[in-house]
Amino acid sequence: MSSHFQLLKTDTGTAARRGRLQTLHGPIETPIFMPVGTQGTVKSLTPAQIKETGAQIILGNTYHLNLRPGSELVRDLGGLHQFMGWDGPILTDSGGFQVFSLAKLRDIRDDGIAFSSHLDGSKLFLGPREVMTIQANLGSDIAMVIDECPPWPCTREACRDAVDRSYRWAQQCKQIATDNGFLAGGHHVFAIAQGSTFDDLRREAAESLAALDFPGYAVGGVSVGEPEPEMLKQVGATTPFMPADKPRYTMGLGTPPQILKMIALGVDMFDCVHPTRVARNGAAFTPDGLINLRNERYRADPAPLVEGLDNYTCRKFTRAYLRHLVMANEILACTLLTLHNLHFYLDLMAQARAHIEAGDFGPWHRAWVERFEAGEA
Protein backbone atom coordinates (compact mmCIF):
# COMPACT_ATOMS: atom_id res chain seq x y z
CA MET A 1 0.00 0.00 0.00
CA SER A 2 1.40 3.41 -0.94
CA SER A 3 1.36 6.06 1.76
CA HIS A 4 0.24 9.04 -0.35
CA PHE A 5 -2.96 7.42 -1.68
CA GLN A 6 -5.60 5.84 0.51
CA LEU A 7 -8.22 3.70 -1.15
CA LEU A 8 -11.18 4.28 1.17
CA LYS A 9 -13.77 2.20 -0.63
CA THR A 10 -14.22 0.19 -3.83
CA ASP A 11 -17.72 -0.14 -5.24
CA THR A 12 -19.07 -3.66 -5.62
CA GLY A 13 -21.42 -3.13 -8.59
CA THR A 14 -18.87 -1.14 -10.63
CA ALA A 15 -15.10 -0.50 -10.51
CA ALA A 16 -15.68 2.97 -8.95
CA ARG A 17 -13.33 3.95 -6.12
CA ARG A 18 -13.40 6.47 -3.29
CA GLY A 19 -9.93 7.65 -2.35
CA ARG A 20 -7.75 10.35 -0.82
CA LEU A 21 -4.54 11.61 -2.42
CA GLN A 22 -2.07 13.52 -0.23
CA THR A 23 -0.09 16.34 -1.85
CA LEU A 24 2.28 19.06 -0.63
CA HIS A 25 -0.65 21.48 -0.75
CA GLY A 26 -3.17 19.30 1.04
CA PRO A 27 -5.37 16.25 0.43
CA ILE A 28 -7.59 15.64 -2.59
CA GLU A 29 -10.78 13.63 -2.18
CA THR A 30 -11.34 11.38 -5.20
CA PRO A 31 -13.04 10.99 -7.63
CA ILE A 32 -12.28 14.59 -8.52
CA PHE A 33 -12.51 16.99 -11.46
CA MET A 34 -9.61 19.43 -11.95
CA PRO A 35 -10.44 22.83 -13.53
CA VAL A 36 -8.00 23.79 -16.27
CA GLY A 37 -5.79 26.84 -15.72
CA THR A 38 -3.49 26.51 -18.72
CA GLN A 39 -1.83 29.91 -18.46
CA GLY A 40 -1.78 30.14 -14.66
CA THR A 41 -5.42 31.28 -14.58
CA VAL A 42 -8.76 29.48 -14.73
CA LYS A 43 -10.15 31.85 -17.34
CA SER A 44 -12.31 34.66 -15.89
CA LEU A 45 -12.14 33.50 -12.22
CA THR A 46 -10.06 34.78 -9.31
CA PRO A 47 -8.43 32.11 -7.11
CA ALA A 48 -11.03 32.91 -4.41
CA GLN A 49 -13.80 32.20 -6.93
CA ILE A 50 -12.06 28.97 -8.01
CA LYS A 51 -12.14 27.85 -4.36
CA GLU A 52 -15.81 28.78 -4.17
CA THR A 53 -16.62 26.31 -6.98
CA GLY A 54 -15.40 23.50 -4.70
CA ALA A 55 -12.18 22.95 -6.69
CA GLN A 56 -9.57 21.00 -4.74
CA ILE A 57 -6.83 20.99 -7.39
CA ILE A 58 -6.27 22.83 -10.67
CA LEU A 59 -4.22 22.19 -13.79
CA GLY A 60 -1.43 24.24 -15.32
CA ASN A 61 0.50 23.73 -18.52
CA THR A 62 4.23 23.30 -19.01
CA TYR A 63 4.07 24.15 -22.70
CA HIS A 64 2.33 27.49 -22.27
CA LEU A 65 3.96 28.65 -19.03
CA ASN A 66 7.42 27.82 -20.31
CA LEU A 67 6.89 29.85 -23.49
CA ARG A 68 5.37 32.72 -21.52
CA PRO A 69 6.33 34.03 -18.97
CA GLY A 70 9.05 31.32 -18.65
CA SER A 71 9.42 28.74 -15.87
CA GLU A 72 12.57 30.33 -14.43
CA LEU A 73 10.79 33.63 -13.93
CA VAL A 74 7.94 31.78 -12.15
CA ARG A 75 10.50 29.92 -10.01
CA ASP A 76 12.27 33.18 -9.11
CA LEU A 77 8.96 34.71 -8.06
CA GLY A 78 8.24 31.88 -5.64
CA GLY A 79 6.74 29.17 -7.87
CA LEU A 80 3.38 28.87 -9.63
CA HIS A 81 1.26 28.75 -6.44
CA GLN A 82 2.61 32.08 -5.24
CA PHE A 83 2.77 33.61 -8.72
CA MET A 84 -0.95 33.00 -9.38
CA GLY A 85 -2.20 33.26 -5.79
CA TRP A 86 -3.58 29.68 -5.56
CA ASP A 87 -2.60 27.77 -2.41
CA GLY A 88 -4.21 24.43 -3.30
CA PRO A 89 -2.60 21.57 -5.24
CA ILE A 90 -1.58 22.05 -8.89
CA LEU A 91 -1.07 19.34 -11.51
CA THR A 92 0.91 20.29 -14.59
CA ASP A 93 0.79 18.55 -17.96
CA SER A 94 4.20 17.93 -19.43
CA GLY A 95 3.84 19.84 -22.69
CA GLY A 96 4.31 17.12 -25.28
CA PHE A 97 0.60 16.81 -25.99
CA GLN A 98 0.23 20.57 -26.44
CA VAL A 99 3.16 20.58 -28.87
CA PHE A 100 1.15 18.20 -31.06
CA SER A 101 -1.91 20.42 -31.09
CA LEU A 102 -0.33 23.89 -31.15
CA ALA A 103 3.25 24.03 -32.36
CA LYS A 104 4.38 24.10 -35.96
CA LEU A 105 7.16 22.05 -37.56
CA ARG A 106 7.48 19.47 -34.83
CA ASP A 107 9.96 16.65 -35.05
CA ILE A 108 9.68 13.66 -32.72
CA ARG A 109 13.10 12.27 -31.94
CA ASP A 110 14.21 9.57 -29.53
CA ASP A 111 15.50 12.21 -27.11
CA GLY A 112 12.40 14.46 -27.23
CA ILE A 113 10.34 16.78 -29.42
CA ALA A 114 11.81 19.69 -31.40
CA PHE A 115 9.27 22.32 -32.43
CA SER A 116 8.62 25.97 -33.27
CA SER A 117 6.74 28.11 -30.77
CA HIS A 118 3.17 28.98 -31.82
CA LEU A 119 3.77 32.46 -30.37
CA ASP A 120 6.88 33.66 -32.20
CA GLY A 121 8.21 30.72 -34.23
CA SER A 122 11.34 30.33 -32.09
CA LYS A 123 12.96 26.89 -32.13
CA LEU A 124 12.48 24.91 -28.94
CA PHE A 125 12.95 21.41 -27.58
CA LEU A 126 11.18 19.38 -24.89
CA GLY A 127 12.63 16.09 -23.67
CA PRO A 128 12.46 14.26 -20.32
CA ARG A 129 15.04 16.57 -18.71
CA GLU A 130 13.39 19.75 -19.96
CA VAL A 131 9.85 18.85 -18.86
CA MET A 132 10.95 17.67 -15.43
CA THR A 133 13.08 20.80 -14.90
CA ILE A 134 10.25 23.10 -15.98
CA GLN A 135 7.73 21.36 -13.72
CA ALA A 136 10.19 21.54 -10.80
CA ASN A 137 10.62 25.28 -11.50
CA LEU A 138 6.85 25.71 -11.42
CA GLY A 139 6.68 23.81 -8.12
CA SER A 140 4.02 21.43 -9.42
CA ASP A 141 2.43 19.08 -6.87
CA ILE A 142 1.82 16.49 -9.59
CA ALA A 143 4.09 16.52 -12.64
CA MET A 144 3.31 14.47 -15.74
CA VAL A 145 5.93 12.56 -17.73
CA ILE A 146 6.51 13.52 -21.36
CA ASP A 147 4.71 11.12 -23.69
CA GLU A 148 3.88 10.63 -27.35
CA CYS A 149 0.15 10.70 -28.04
CA PRO A 150 -0.48 9.05 -31.43
CA PRO A 151 -3.29 10.47 -33.57
CA TRP A 152 -6.60 8.64 -34.04
CA PRO A 153 -6.79 6.54 -36.04
CA CYS A 154 -3.22 5.30 -36.26
CA THR A 155 -1.48 2.17 -37.50
CA ARG A 156 -0.35 -0.50 -35.08
CA GLU A 157 3.24 0.24 -36.08
CA ALA A 158 2.95 3.95 -35.23
CA CYS A 159 1.23 3.08 -31.96
CA ARG A 160 3.93 0.54 -31.09
CA ASP A 161 6.59 3.25 -31.57
CA ALA A 162 4.61 5.74 -29.43
CA VAL A 163 4.15 3.21 -26.61
CA ASP A 164 7.85 2.26 -26.66
CA ARG A 165 9.05 5.86 -26.79
CA SER A 166 6.62 6.91 -24.05
CA TYR A 167 7.92 4.07 -21.85
CA ARG A 168 11.55 5.11 -22.29
CA TRP A 169 10.70 8.76 -21.61
CA ALA A 170 8.73 7.78 -18.48
CA GLN A 171 11.72 5.80 -17.21
CA GLN A 172 14.00 8.79 -17.80
CA CYS A 173 11.55 11.23 -16.16
CA LYS A 174 11.38 9.04 -13.04
CA GLN A 175 15.17 8.86 -12.86
CA ILE A 176 15.52 12.65 -13.22
CA ALA A 177 12.84 13.29 -10.56
CA THR A 178 14.66 10.88 -8.25
CA ASP A 179 18.10 12.40 -8.85
CA ASN A 180 16.99 16.04 -8.43
CA GLY A 181 15.03 15.37 -5.22
CA PHE A 182 11.61 16.19 -6.73
CA LEU A 183 10.07 12.89 -5.60
CA ALA A 184 11.86 12.83 -2.25
CA GLY A 185 10.53 16.36 -1.62
CA GLY A 186 6.96 15.02 -1.69
CA HIS A 187 6.03 16.01 -5.25
CA HIS A 188 4.38 13.33 -7.35
CA VAL A 189 5.11 12.22 -10.91
CA PHE A 190 2.41 10.41 -12.89
CA ALA A 191 3.15 8.09 -15.84
CA ILE A 192 0.92 8.08 -18.95
CA ALA A 193 -0.27 4.90 -20.70
CA GLN A 194 -0.81 5.27 -24.45
CA GLY A 195 -1.86 2.49 -26.85
CA SER A 196 -4.55 4.08 -29.04
CA THR A 197 -7.22 1.52 -30.01
CA PHE A 198 -5.03 -1.56 -29.52
CA ASP A 199 -6.12 -3.35 -26.36
CA ASP A 200 -2.97 -5.44 -26.06
CA LEU A 201 -0.73 -2.36 -26.39
CA ARG A 202 -2.83 -0.52 -23.80
CA ARG A 203 -2.39 -3.44 -21.41
CA GLU A 204 1.31 -3.65 -22.13
CA ALA A 205 1.74 0.12 -21.56
CA ALA A 206 -0.14 -0.03 -18.26
CA GLU A 207 1.74 -3.09 -17.00
CA SER A 208 5.21 -1.96 -18.00
CA LEU A 209 4.69 1.48 -16.43
CA ALA A 210 3.22 -0.13 -13.29
CA ALA A 211 6.50 -1.97 -12.83
CA LEU A 212 8.30 1.41 -12.64
CA ASP A 213 6.34 2.22 -9.46
CA PHE A 214 5.11 5.77 -10.13
CA PRO A 215 3.02 7.65 -7.54
CA GLY A 216 0.11 7.73 -10.05
CA TYR A 217 -0.99 6.70 -13.52
CA ALA A 218 -2.84 8.38 -16.38
CA VAL A 219 -4.66 7.12 -19.46
CA GLY A 220 -3.53 9.28 -22.39
CA GLY A 221 -4.53 9.35 -26.04
CA VAL A 222 -8.28 9.36 -25.42
CA SER A 223 -10.79 11.94 -26.65
CA VAL A 224 -8.61 12.58 -29.70
CA GLY A 225 -11.47 12.26 -32.20
CA GLU A 226 -12.60 8.66 -31.63
CA PRO A 227 -16.30 7.91 -30.98
CA GLU A 228 -17.37 7.63 -27.33
CA PRO A 229 -17.80 3.81 -27.27
CA GLU A 230 -14.23 3.46 -28.57
CA MET A 231 -13.00 5.88 -25.90
CA LEU A 232 -14.70 3.90 -23.11
CA LYS A 233 -13.29 0.68 -24.54
CA GLN A 234 -9.76 2.14 -24.44
CA VAL A 235 -10.10 3.26 -20.84
CA GLY A 236 -11.61 -0.13 -19.94
CA ALA A 237 -8.66 -1.83 -21.63
CA THR A 238 -6.18 0.14 -19.52
CA THR A 239 -7.43 0.70 -15.95
CA PRO A 240 -7.63 -3.00 -14.92
CA PHE A 241 -3.86 -3.23 -15.47
CA MET A 242 -2.97 -0.17 -13.40
CA PRO A 243 -2.00 -0.66 -9.74
CA ALA A 244 -5.12 -0.58 -7.53
CA ASP A 245 -3.32 1.34 -4.78
CA LYS A 246 -2.36 4.33 -6.95
CA PRO A 247 -4.51 7.17 -8.28
CA ARG A 248 -5.72 6.91 -11.89
CA TYR A 249 -6.34 9.88 -14.16
CA THR A 250 -7.83 10.11 -17.67
CA MET A 251 -6.44 13.15 -19.44
CA GLY A 252 -8.62 15.73 -21.19
CA LEU A 253 -12.07 14.29 -20.39
CA GLY A 254 -14.98 14.93 -20.62
CA THR A 255 -18.73 15.62 -20.52
CA PRO A 256 -20.53 14.87 -17.22
CA PRO A 257 -21.87 11.50 -18.50
CA GLN A 258 -18.44 10.53 -19.81
CA ILE A 259 -16.86 11.32 -16.45
CA LEU A 260 -19.45 9.25 -14.56
CA LYS A 261 -18.92 6.32 -16.95
CA MET A 262 -15.14 6.57 -16.43
CA ILE A 263 -15.57 6.65 -12.66
CA ALA A 264 -17.50 3.38 -13.07
CA LEU A 265 -14.42 2.01 -14.87
CA GLY A 266 -12.19 2.87 -11.90
CA VAL A 267 -10.83 6.31 -12.80
CA ASP A 268 -10.20 8.81 -9.98
CA MET A 269 -9.14 12.10 -11.61
CA PHE A 270 -10.30 14.16 -14.60
CA ASP A 271 -9.59 17.44 -16.33
CA CYS A 272 -11.25 19.10 -19.28
CA VAL A 273 -11.68 22.57 -20.79
CA HIS A 274 -15.31 21.72 -21.64
CA PRO A 275 -17.14 23.37 -18.67
CA THR A 276 -15.06 26.56 -18.85
CA ARG A 277 -15.03 26.77 -22.65
CA VAL A 278 -18.78 26.33 -23.09
CA ALA A 279 -19.35 28.93 -20.33
CA ARG A 280 -17.52 31.49 -22.46
CA ASN A 281 -19.84 30.55 -25.33
CA GLY A 282 -22.96 31.24 -23.26
CA ALA A 283 -23.88 27.65 -22.31
CA ALA A 284 -24.68 26.31 -18.83
CA PHE A 285 -24.99 22.81 -17.37
CA THR A 286 -28.22 21.58 -15.80
CA PRO A 287 -29.24 18.05 -14.69
CA ASP A 288 -31.39 18.05 -17.87
CA GLY A 289 -28.49 18.77 -20.21
CA LEU A 290 -26.54 21.75 -21.45
CA ILE A 291 -28.63 24.85 -22.17
CA ASN A 292 -27.63 27.64 -24.54
CA LEU A 293 -28.61 31.01 -23.09
CA ARG A 294 -28.68 32.59 -26.54
CA ASN A 295 -31.92 30.72 -27.07
CA GLU A 296 -34.91 33.10 -27.22
CA ARG A 297 -36.84 30.95 -24.76
CA TYR A 298 -34.74 32.24 -21.84
CA ARG A 299 -35.40 35.95 -22.66
CA ALA A 300 -37.78 36.49 -19.74
CA ASP A 301 -37.09 33.31 -17.74
CA PRO A 302 -37.16 34.20 -14.01
CA ALA A 303 -35.68 30.86 -12.87
CA PRO A 304 -32.08 30.32 -11.78
CA LEU A 305 -29.91 28.10 -13.99
CA VAL A 306 -30.50 25.19 -11.59
CA GLU A 307 -33.13 25.45 -8.85
CA GLY A 308 -31.58 24.90 -5.43
CA LEU A 309 -27.95 24.57 -6.60
CA ASP A 310 -25.87 26.41 -4.02
CA ASN A 311 -23.52 28.60 -6.02
CA TYR A 312 -23.36 32.40 -6.35
CA THR A 313 -24.75 32.41 -9.91
CA CYS A 314 -27.76 30.26 -9.02
CA ARG A 315 -28.43 32.05 -5.71
CA LYS A 316 -28.43 35.55 -7.19
CA PHE A 317 -29.31 35.61 -10.89
CA THR A 318 -32.11 34.63 -13.27
CA ARG A 319 -31.65 32.92 -16.61
CA ALA A 320 -33.07 36.11 -18.16
CA TYR A 321 -30.30 38.27 -16.66
CA LEU A 322 -27.57 35.80 -17.59
CA ARG A 323 -28.95 35.65 -21.14
CA HIS A 324 -28.91 39.45 -21.27
CA LEU A 325 -25.20 39.46 -20.28
CA VAL A 326 -24.41 36.84 -22.94
CA MET A 327 -26.33 38.71 -25.67
CA ALA A 328 -24.65 42.01 -24.70
CA ASN A 329 -21.23 40.33 -24.76
CA GLU A 330 -20.57 41.41 -21.18
CA ILE A 331 -17.48 39.87 -19.54
CA LEU A 332 -19.46 39.17 -16.36
CA ALA A 333 -21.29 36.47 -18.35
CA CYS A 334 -18.00 34.53 -18.61
CA THR A 335 -17.35 34.78 -14.87
CA LEU A 336 -20.87 33.85 -13.73
CA LEU A 337 -21.27 30.96 -16.19
CA THR A 338 -17.76 29.61 -15.53
CA LEU A 339 -18.43 29.73 -11.80
CA HIS A 340 -21.69 27.83 -12.29
CA ASN A 341 -20.34 25.23 -14.73
CA LEU A 342 -17.33 24.40 -12.56
CA HIS A 343 -19.49 24.22 -9.44
CA PHE A 344 -21.89 21.94 -11.34
CA TYR A 345 -18.98 19.57 -12.21
CA LEU A 346 -17.51 19.67 -8.70
CA ASP A 347 -20.90 19.16 -7.07
CA LEU A 348 -21.39 16.15 -9.37
CA MET A 349 -18.06 14.75 -8.14
CA ALA A 350 -19.16 15.28 -4.52
CA GLN A 351 -22.39 13.39 -5.30
CA ALA A 352 -20.39 10.59 -6.95
CA ARG A 353 -18.16 10.28 -3.87
CA ALA A 354 -21.21 10.16 -1.59
CA HIS A 355 -22.87 7.47 -3.72
CA ILE A 356 -19.71 5.34 -3.82
CA GLU A 357 -19.64 5.58 -0.02
CA ALA A 358 -23.34 4.71 0.18
CA GLY A 359 -22.84 1.70 -2.11
CA ASP A 360 -25.35 2.74 -4.80
CA PHE A 361 -23.05 4.39 -7.36
CA GLY A 362 -24.08 1.98 -10.17
CA PRO A 363 -27.83 2.68 -10.27
CA TRP A 364 -27.37 6.34 -9.28
CA HIS A 365 -24.94 7.15 -12.12
CA ARG A 366 -27.04 5.29 -14.71
CA ALA A 367 -30.14 7.29 -13.74
CA TRP A 368 -28.16 10.56 -13.71
CA VAL A 369 -26.78 9.93 -17.22
CA GLU A 370 -30.20 8.94 -18.55
CA ARG A 371 -31.82 12.16 -17.31
CA PHE A 372 -28.97 14.35 -18.59
CA GLU A 373 -28.95 12.73 -22.02
CA ALA A 374 -32.75 12.83 -22.37
CA GLY A 375 -32.67 16.58 -21.78
CA GLU A 376 -29.91 17.46 -24.19
CA ALA A 377 -30.99 19.70 -27.04
Where on the phi/psi map is residue 205: left (φ > 0), alpha (ψ -120 to 50), or beta?
A: alpha
Q: In the complex, what is the shortest distance from the CB of residue 91 to ligand GUN, in angstroms, rounded to a whole number?
A: 11
Scanning 110-118, 141-149, 173-181, 235-243 for contacts with ligand GUN by CB under 6 A, the matching segment is 141-149
Note if 93 is an active site residue: yes
How far apart CA 93 and CA 295 sit, in angstroms, is: 36
Q: In the complex, what is the shortest distance from the CB of residue 232 to ligand GUN, in angstroms, rounded to a whole number?
A: 15
Among 195, 252, 275, 304, binds ligand GUN (CB under 6 A): 252
Binding letters toward ligand GUN, positions 62-101, x by CB under 6 A: -------------------------------xx-xx----
Residue 56 vs 166, nearer CB to ligand GUN: 166
Q: In the complex, what is the shortest distance from the CB of residue 149 to ligand GUN, in angstroms, rounded to a whole number?
A: 4
- Given 11, 147, 271, 347, which residue is catalytic? 271
- 130 near ligand GUN, judged by CB under 6 A: no
Among 47, 215, 221, 275, binds ligand GUN (CB under 6 A): 221
User: Would you state the torsion angle of the CA atoms of residues 287, 272, 36, 150, taken in this order, to the nearest 10 degrees?
Assistant: 180
Among 149, 209, 267, 306, binds ligand GUN (CB under 6 A): 149
- 147 near ligand GUN, judged by CB under 6 A: yes
Q: In the complex, what is the shortest distance from the CB of residue 7 to ligand GUN, in angstroms, rounded to a whole number?
A: 25
Q: In the complex, what is the shortest distance from the CB of residue 11 to ligand GUN, in angstroms, rounded to a whole number?
A: 26
Among 31, 47, 220, 304, binds ligand GUN (CB under 6 A): 220
Binding letters toward ligand GUN, positions 173-202, x by CB under 6 A: -------------------x----------
Number of residues that bind ligand GUN (CB under 6 A): 12
Q: In the complex, what is the shortest distance from the CB of residue 303 to ligand GUN, in angstroms, rounded to a whole number?
A: 36
Among 138, 251, 290, 349, binds ligand GUN (CB under 6 A): 251
- 150 near ligand GUN, judged by CB under 6 A: no
- Given 93, 141, 147, 347, which residue is catalytic? 93
Contact set with ligand GUN (CB under 6 A):
93-94, 96-97, 144, 147, 149, 192, 220-221, 251-252
Q: Which residues carry out catalysis?
A: 93, 271
